[in-house]
Amino acid sequence: MNVSLRYDQGAMRLLTAAFVVVCLAARSSAASAEEEIRRAEKAWAAAVMRVDAQALEKILDDQLIYAHSTGVIESKAQYLDRLRRRAQKYDLIEHQQITVRLHGDAAVAHSQVRMKGVSDQVPFDNRLMMLHLWVKHGGQWWLAAHQTTRLP
């Protein structure tokens, strides 16, 4: 009877250790995915400020919904066209805080940002709440939706 009890205790220790390893791996994976989204947010902002259409082609999902704080909604093609023509120019996109929530192969990034630039020849300097929906396919995170709301 002692032998089977020892076996059960040993098996329990092994299962417990395996469980801990799996939990730590899942936690590490979630932390690294969150960091990937934070880097993606910074890469998006840098590409927009540089008007780097080539980089944005690799960041923006083909089915992008881009909703500006003015209420204007654009597709990926429309948004990139405005940037290329300099109808929309960002001099500053500064994340003041970013909260990321993961949902499988999707992530929501909620930020407070300051954006400065020119839209249709009208300067702007806005404090905004920004919501980004990122989706992962092909091993890469893609920006699928953008929504901003002006803050007072």
Q: Give the model's pLDDT for residue 10.
A: 55
Mean pLDDT in runs of 10 for the chain (152 residues)?
53 48 47 94 98 97 97 97 96 97 97 97 97 97 98 94
Compute the distance between CA of residue 123 and CA of residue 129 in angstroms, rounded to an integer: 19
DSSP-derived letter for residue 87 is S
Q: Give the model's pLDDT for residue 91.
A: 97
Q: Give the model's pLDDT for residue 25.
A: 43
Q: Give the model's pLDDT for residue 64.
A: 98
Q: Give the model's pLDDT for residue 108.
A: 98
